[in-house]
Structure 1
Amino acid sequence: MGKNMLQMFLYFGVIPVVISFITIFITADNFLFSTILPLIIGGCIAGGYASRTLLRQDENSTHSLLFLFPLAYTAVIWAIFMLISGGFYGADSWLSYGILHIAMAPIFFMTMLMGEGRLFLWAPLSYELAVVFTIFLVFLIKRVRPTFDKKQAVTLLTVFVLAMGTGAVVQWERSKTVLPSYGFEYGGGYSSTDLTPYEVTNPSNILPKLESPSTFTIKNSFEMPRLDGAEAAYPVYSAFANTVYENISQLDNVWDIVSFTNTIYSYERLLSGEVDIYFGAEPSKEQQEMAKRQGKEMVMTPIGKEAFVFFVNPDNKVDSLDVSEIQSIYSGKIKNWSELGGKNERIIAFQRPKNSGSQTLLEKIMGDTPIMEPLKEDVPEGMGGIIEQVADYRNYDNSIGFSFRFFATGMRGNSDIKLLAIDGIEPSPENIASEKYPFTANLYAITLKDNTKNTIEPFLEWMKGPQGQEIIEKIGYIRN
Structure 2
Amino acid sequence: MGEKMLQLFLYFGVVPLVISFITLPLTSTNFLITTILPLIIGGCIAGGIASRILIKSDDKRGLSLLFFFPLAYTAVFWAIFMLISGGFYGANSWLFYSILHIAMAPIFFMTMLMGEGRLFLWAPLAYELAFVFAIFLSLLIKRACPTFNKKQMLTVITVFVIAMGTGAAVQWERSKTVLPSYGFEYGGGYSSTDLFPYDVTNPDHILPQLETASTFTIKKVSEMPILDGAEAAYPVYSAFANAVYENIGNLDRAGEIVSFTNTIYSYERLLSGEVDIYFGAEPSKEQQEMAKRQGKELVMTPIGKEAFVFFVNPDNKVDGLKVSEIKNIYSGKIKNWSELGGKNERIIAFQRPKNSGSQTLLEKIMSNTPIMEPLKEDVPEGMGGIIEQVADYRNYDNSIGFSFRFFATGMKANPDIKLLAIEGIEPNPENIASEKYPFTASLYAITLKDNPKPQIEPFLEWMKGPQGQEIIGKIGYIKN
Does the alignment reach a TM-score above 0.5?
A: yes
Q: Which one is further off, 437-446 or 221-230?
A: 221-230
Cα distance in structure 1, aligned partners of 2:27 and 2:63: 38
Match of 2:298 in 1: 298
Match of 1:416 in 2: 416
Alignment-mate amino acid for residue 88 of structure 1: F
Alignment deviations for residues 152-184 of structure 1 (CA, whole Å, 9 cap, x no partner): 100000000000000000000000011111244
Please give the secondary structure, in 1, of the residue aligned with 2:29. Answer: coil
Cα distance in structure 1, aligned partners of 2:19 and 2:217: 65
The TM-score normalised by the length of structure 1 is 0.98
Once the two structures are TM-superposed, the CA of residue 196 in structure 1 deviates from its matched residue by 1.6
Q: Which one is further off, 216-225 or 149-158?
A: 216-225
For residues 311-322 of structure 1, the aligned pairs below 5 Å read 311-322=311-322
Once the two structures are TM-superposed, the CA of residue 105 in structure 1 deviates from its matched residue by 0.7
Match of 2:144 in 1: 144
Percent identity between matched residues is: 84
Are the aligned partners of 1:187 and 1:260 in contact in 2 as well (CA < 8 Å)?
no
Match of 1:256 in 2: 256
Alignment-mate amino acid for residue 461 of structure 2: E
Match of 1:99 in 2: 99
Alignment-mate amino acid for residue 377 of structure 2: E
Alignment-mate amino acid for residue 269 of structure 1: R
Are the aligned partners of 1:321 and 1:421 in contact in 2 as well (CA < 8 Å)?
yes
Cα distance in structure 2, aligned partners of 1:293 and 1:174: 38
Please give the secondary structure, in 2, of the residue aligned with 1:426. Answer: coil
Match of 1:221 in 2: 221
Once the two structures are TM-superposed, the CA of residue 343 in structure 1 deviates from its matched residue by 0.7
Match of 1:157 in 2: 157
Q: CA RMSD in A?
A: 1.0
Once the two structures are TM-superposed, the CA of residue 62 in structure 1 deviates from its matched residue by 4.5
Alignment deviations for residues 13-33 of structure 1 (CA, whole Å, 9 cap, x no partner): 111111111111113221111
Match of 1:462 in 2: 462
Please give the secondary structure, in 2, of the residue aligned with 1:90. Answer: coil
Alignment-mate amino acid for residue 80 of structure 2: I
Match of 2:446 in 1: 446
Are the aligned partners of 1:55 and 1:61 in contact in 2 as well (CA < 8 Å)?
no
Are the aligned partners of 1:310 and 1:402 in contact in 2 as well (CA < 8 Å)?
yes
Once the two structures are TM-superposed, the CA of residue 8 in structure 1 deviates from its matched residue by 1.0
For residues 191-230 of structure 1, the aligned pairs below 5 Å read 191-230=191-230
For residues 57-76 of structure 1, the aligned pairs below 5 Å read 57-60=57-60, 62-76=62-76
Match of 2:79 in 1: 79
Once the two structures are TM-superposed, the CA of residue 319 in structure 1 deviates from its matched residue by 0.5
Are the aligned partners of 1:184 and 1:191 in contact in 2 as well (CA < 8 Å)?
no
Once the two structures are TM-superposed, the CA of residue 256 in structure 1 deviates from its matched residue by 1.4
Pair 1:18-2:2 in alignment: no
Are the aligned partners of 2:40 and 2:127 in contact in 1 as well (CA < 8 Å)?
yes
Aligned residues: 480
Alignment deviations for residues 393-447 of structure 1 (CA, whole Å, 9 cap, x no partner): 1111111100000000111110000000001000000110111101000000000
Match of 2:50 in 1: 50
Cα distance in structure 1, aligned partners of 2:308 and 2:23: 49
Match of 1:367 in 2: 367
Once the two structures are TM-superposed, the CA of residue 215 in structure 1 deviates from its matched residue by 1.4
Once the two structures are TM-superposed, the CA of residue 255 in structure 1 deviates from its matched residue by 1.9
Once the two structures are TM-superposed, the CA of residue 199 in structure 1 deviates from its matched residue by 1.2
Are the aligned partners of 2:302 and 2:443 in contact in 1 as well (CA < 8 Å)?
yes
Once the two structures are TM-superposed, the CA of residue 478 in structure 1 deviates from its matched residue by 0.5
Are the aligned partners of 2:236 and 2:471 in contact in 1 as well (CA < 8 Å)?
yes
Structure 2 CA distance for partners of 1:285 and 1:183, relative to 1, 3 Å: farther
Cα distance in structure 2, aligned partners of 1:375 and 1:122: 26
Cα distance in structure 2, aligned partners of 1:318 and 1:140: 58
Alignment-mate amino acid for residue 275 of structure 2: V
Match of 1:332 in 2: 332
Alignment deviations for residues 244-291 of structure 1 (CA, whole Å, 9 cap, x no partner): 112222222222111111111111110001111100000000000000
Cα distance in structure 1, aligned partners of 2:398 and 2:338: 11
Cα distance in structure 2, aligned partners of 1:77 and 1:328: 40
Cα distance in structure 1, aligned partners of 2:202 and 2:21: 45
Cα distance in structure 2, aligned partners of 1:220 and 1:34: 57
Where does structure 1 lack aligned partners over 5 or more consecutive residues? none
Match of 2:182 in 1: 182
Match of 1:36 in 2: 36
Once the two structures are TM-superposed, the CA of residue 7 in structure 1 deviates from its matched residue by 1.3
Alignment-mate amino acid for residue 258 of structure 1: V
Q: Which one is further off, 223-232 or 177-186?
A: 177-186
Cα distance in structure 2, aligned partners of 1:187 and 1:59: 63
Alignment deviations for residues 212-236 of structure 1 (CA, whole Å, 9 cap, x no partner): 1111111222211111111111111
Alignment deviations for residues 283-338 of structure 1 (CA, whole Å, 9 cap, x no partner): 00000000000000000000000000000000001101111111111111111111
Cα distance in structure 1, aligned partners of 2:371 and 2:337: 18
Alignment-mate amino acid for residue 251 of structure 2: L
Match of 1:352 in 2: 352
Where does structure 2 lack aligned partners over 5 or more consecutive residues? none
Alignment deviations for residues 108-136 of structure 1 (CA, whole Å, 9 cap, x no partner): 11111111110100011001111111011
Q: Which one is further off, 169-178 or 462-471?
A: 462-471
Cα distance in structure 1, aligned partners of 2:202 and 2:59: 76
Alignment-mate amino acid for residue 36 of structure 2: I
Pair 1:281-2:278 in alignment: no
Cα distance in structure 1, aligned partners of 2:138 and 2:97: 32
Are the aligned partners of 2:61 and 2:149 in contact in 1 as well (CA < 8 Å)?
no
Cα distance in structure 2, aligned partners of 1:204 and 1:451: 34
Alignment deviations for residues 15-69 of structure 1 (CA, whole Å, 9 cap, x no partner): 1111111111113221111111111111111111111222232354651221111
Please give the secondary structure, in 2, of the residue aligned with 1:76. Answer: helix
Match of 2:127 in 1: 127
Alignment-mate amino acid for residue 9 of structure 2: F
Alignment deviations for residues 366-397 of structure 1 (CA, whole Å, 9 cap, x no partner): 11111111111111111111111111111111
Cα distance in structure 2, aligned partners of 1:459 and 1:146: 88
Alignment-mate amino acid for residue 154 of structure 2: V
